[in-house]
C-alpha cells in the first residue's frame, strides 16, 4: 500500500517494533498526525477470546471522561411520557412506530446510537436486519435498553461509547481527537482499558490482552505494552 508524504513523515517518529507506555504512545500518535483536519484517535484491542462462543463475548459501555470529540445523534424508541422525557434529555429523535416506518421506507439512518425502552423491543426487533449489521441494535449490556431513557441519552451525549468484539476478536473504539492532547487521550484510554479488563469473561483462558494499538485517522500506529494494563 502506497503511503503519502505526511504519513511517512509521521511514521519516522514511531518504532514499529517497540512497545510503549500508553502516555508515550499517545504522545507519539498526536505528534505524528499530519492531516489538515482534527483526526480521531482510535484504540484497537485484540483479545485472547473466541467471539464465536457466547461465554467468551466481551461487550459493554463506558463513559469517557473527555468524550470522543463528537456529539452522537441519539434516536429513542419509546411510548407516552418516555418520548417527552427523552426529548427533554437531548434526544435528537424520539418516537414509536412512525420511526420504524421511516427507517424501513426511507432507508433513514441520520443517527449514531439507538436507545429503546424494554416495551419497545418487540417493535425494534423488526429492524434487526438493518440495525444489526450497522451496530445500531439496542442492547441491555450497553445500557441502551432501559426505562431510564433520560439517563441513557445524557450519558451518550456526554461521551458514553459502546465496545464489543468484531469477528476477529478485536475491539475498535474512538478515544478522542488529536486536539485533545496526550493527557486527555490517556485518561480516556485508561478508562476504556480498565472497562475491557474488568469485562474479562470467566471462560477466557491464557493471555487476555493480546495486543493494544493506538492510531489517528490518517496517521501511523503505536503499540502499547499490555503488561501494565492487565493489573
Other CB atoms within a 10 A radius of the CB of residue 26 amount to: 29
SS in 3 state form for the chain? CCCCHHHHHHHCCCCCCCEECHHHHHHHHHHHCCCCCCCEEEEEEEECCCCCCHHHCCEEEEECCCCCCCCCCEEEECCCHHHHHHHHHCCCEEECHHHHHHHHHHCCCCCCEEEECHHHHHHHHHHHHHHCCCCCCCCCCCCCECCCHHHHHHHHHCCEEEEEECCCCEEEEEEEEHHHHHHHHHHHHHHHHHHHHHCCCCCCCCCCEEEEEEEECCCCEEEECHHHCCC
**Cα–Cα distance measured from residue 172 to residue 222, given in angstroms and rounded to the nearest whole number:** 15
* pLDDT in the model for residue 34: 87
C-beta of residue 128 within 8 angstroms of C-beta of residue 134: no
CA atoms in the 13 A half-sphere facing the CB of 73: 6
Q: For the whole model, what pTM was predicted? A: 0.81
* pLDDT in the model for residue 230: 63
Residue ranges of domains in the chain, CATH in brackets: 5-67+160-228 (3.30.190.20), 74-157 (3.40.50.790)
Q: pLDDT below 50 — which residues of the chain? A: none
CA atoms in the 13 A half-sphere facing the CB of 17: 0
* pLDDT in the model for residue 13: 78
* pLDDT in the model for residue 228: 77
CA 153, distance to chain mean position in Å, is 15
Amino acid at each position: 500500500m502506497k503511503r503519502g508524504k505526511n504519513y511517512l513523515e509521521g511514521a519516522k517518529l514511531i518504532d514499529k517494533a517497540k512497545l510503549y507506555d500508553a502516555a508515550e504512545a499517545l504522545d507519539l500518535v498526536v505528534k505524528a498526525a499530519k492531516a489538515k483536519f482534527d483526526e480521531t484517535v482510535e484504540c484497537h484491542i485484540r483479545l485472547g477470546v473466541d467471539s464465536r462462543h457466547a461465554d467468551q463475548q466481551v461487550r459493554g459501555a463506558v463513559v469517557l471522561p473527555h468524550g470522543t470529540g463528537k456529539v452522537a445523534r441519539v434516536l429513542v424508541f419509546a411510548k407516552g411520557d418516555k418520548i417527552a422525557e427523552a426529548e427533554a434529555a437531548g434526544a435528537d429523535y424520539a418516537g414509536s412506530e412512525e420511526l420504524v416506518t421511516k427507517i424501513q421506507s426511507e432507508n433513514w439512518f441520520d443517527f449514531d446510537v439507538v436507545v429503546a425502552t424494554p416495551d419497545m423491543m418487540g417493535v425494534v426487533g423488526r429492524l434487526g436486519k438493518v440495525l444489526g449489521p450497522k451496530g445500531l441494535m439496542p442492547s441491555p449490556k450497553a445500557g441502551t435498553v432501559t426505562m431510564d431513557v433520560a439517563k441513557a441519552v445524557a450519558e451518550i451525549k456526554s461521551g458514553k461509547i459502546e465496545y464489543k468484539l468484531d469477528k476477529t476478536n478485536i475491539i475498535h473504539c474512538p478515544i478522542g481527537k488529536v486536539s485533545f492532547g496526550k493527557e486527555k487521550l490517556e485518561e480516556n484510554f485508561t478508562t476504556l482499558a480498565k472497562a475491557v479488563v474488568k469485562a474479562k469473561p470467566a471462560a477466557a483462558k491464557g493471555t487476555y490482552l493480546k495486543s493494544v494499538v493506538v492510531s489517528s485517522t490518517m496517521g501511523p500506529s503505536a503499540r502499547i505494552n499490555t503488561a501494565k494494563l492487565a493489573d
